Amino acid sequence: MPDISVDFEVWKAITLRRETEAMTPNDVLRQILDLPPEREPTASEFIGKFVGAASYKGVFFNDGTQFRAIYKGKEYRAAIVDGVWTMEDGTQCTSPSNAATHITKTNVNGWRFWQVKRPEDADWKLMDLLLP
């Protein structure tokens, strides 16, 4: 989904127009632009949104999500390909920790081992920061 940048005054004006805490900035803009409320996706649209995505601990990673880690001075990479965590050597893993263990040959918390860059992200971040 595209992002738009606004200055502080615009953000403040949008925020002041929120009628309830549940009302999003998108809802405010739809109201200002005289657009109908955003409809809820159908069940098939909702499920289809996540085809080609992997989920670990309730966090979704779409196809194209990249992972990287440095271990003993070497950089390792992986990506979500067709909904599966795939290492650069082609090995498919079942979780971030499984992928980290594949590299280190010991038990590792993959959420602290890997950095992630999702297609919508500008920068890399530690996976651990994505957990709810």
Do 58 and 118 have their domain in common?
yes
Do 70 and 122 have their domain in common?
yes
Do 21 and 86 have their domain in common?
no
Do 61 and 6 have their domain in common?
no
For residue range 68-106, what is the model confidence (pLDDT) as tens digits? 999 999 999 999 998 899 999 999 999 999 999 999 999
Higher-confidence position of 39 and 43 = 39
45 exposure class (CB count in 10 Å sphere: 0-12, 13-18, 19+): exposed
User: What range does the domain containing 24 cover?
Assistant: 1-39
- The torsion defined by the Cα of 114, 130, 54 and 77, in degrees rounded to 10, comes to -20
Do 34 and 52 have their domain in common?
no
Tokens 């909904």, residue located: 83
Whether pLDDT at 49 is above 80: no
Whether pLDDT at 45 is above 60: no
Give CA–CA dist 73/71, Å, rounded: 5
Do 33 and 50 have their domain in common?
no
Higher-confidence position of 21 and 113 = 113
Taking all residues of the chain, what is their mean pLDDT, rounded to a whole number? 87
